[in-house]
Amino acid sequence: MNDGTLSVRDCGFSYGKKEVFRGVTFSVEPGTLCGLFGPNGSGKSTLFKCCLNLLKPREGSIYTGGTDVSRLSAGELARRAAYVPQEHNPPFPFLVRDMVLMGRVAHSSGLFGVRPRDRNAAEEAMERLGIRELAEEPCTRLSGGQRQLVLIARAIAQDTPLVLLDEPTSSLDFRNQLLIWRILRDLAGSGKAVLACVHDPNHVVWFCDRAAVMHSRGLAAWGPPETVMVPELLRRLYGPGCAVGNMAGKPMVYPQ
């Protein structure tokens, strides 16, 4: 099996003596968009870093495409999984075009081995994200939202079977939020496994096929959003000010 399936098996992690989560088990299948949500500090970014072998779980294991991520070299992992971090402030004034092209490094022999098809993939990704006109801009001169679009374009250019995104719409206006969700749905539609950390529970209901919920040092729920998004769980997560109604046959979360 060399697809994008992400399989998190009985995973636990601690920073020193501080336990962040334990017993986390869920999977993201090819063709599926899964939303990961939960309160601030519940361990979502930490779990992402474990999936990318940047942090080592204290217990359990994480597989992608049937291989334990800890057994993959950095290059192999970069060909299997793309990652959009929560934020990234580039230390150097790389041009947007070069930043997106960096997504292709996993497929070529370094930045000096860039082939026409790598350049095409980068151009297509910029086109898809609507940032072609920013191609010659240094990344250090972009707004927060523009930087976020560049990071997503880089992940798309990387063209991996698994895509992990940490709050991919946090800095975006509503139009660009809708654009990103449409692109993520298309990525899943093309057979990729997509895991996106999200804060707005309505985004999970509207756009995701699966929901995974981090809370109280573990996974509080996992399944189709309609079954996960129930008032009891939301009140546990976010307190009594949270209600669930119905809009167009889907749950709709709103303030009480």
Ligand X SMILES: Nc1ncnc2c1ncn2[C@@H]1O[C@H](COP(=O)(O)OP(=O)(O)OP(=O)(O)O)[C@@H](O)[C@H]1O
Q: Please report, as ranges, the residues that interact with ligand X according to CB under 6 A.
A: 15, 18, 20, 38, 40-46
Report the distance separating Cα 218 and Cα 136, nearest Å. Answer: 44
Distances (CA, A) of 173 to 48, 66, 144, 177, 183: 25, 37, 11, 6, 15
Work out the angle between the directed axes of helices 116-129 and 174-189 (0-180°, nearest 10).
130
The answer to whether 224 and 211 have CB atoms below 8 angstroms apart is yes
Closest contact distance (angstroms) between CB of 218 and ligand X is: 12
The answer to whether 211 and 180 have CB atoms below 8 angstroms apart is no
Closest contact distance (angstroms) between CB of 45 and ligand X is: 3
Contacts of 123 (CB under 8 A, 6+ apart): 132
Q: Which is nearer to ligand X, 54 or 111 (CB)?
A: 54
The answer to whether 160 and 79 have CB atoms below 8 angstroms apart is yes
Closest contact distance (angstroms) between CB of 148 and ligand X is: 15
Closest contact distance (angstroms) between CB of 238 and ligand X is: 12
Closest contact distance (angstroms) between CB of 55 and ligand X is: 9
Report the distance separating Cα 16 and Cα 171, nearest Å. Answer: 32
Q: 104-123 in b/e burial notation, b at 16+ Cβ within 10 A?
A: bbbbeeeeeebeeebeebbb
Map tokens 């993520």 to a residue. Answer: 184
Q: Which is nearer to ligand X, 36 or 105 (CB)?
A: 36
Q: Which is nearer to ligand X, 44 or 147 (CB)?
A: 44
The answer to whether 61 and 27 have CB atoms below 8 angstroms apart is no
Closest contact distance (angstroms) between CB of 7 and ligand X is: 20
Closest contact distance (angstroms) between CB of 33 and ligand X is: 19
The pair of structure tokens assigned to 225 is 């959003």
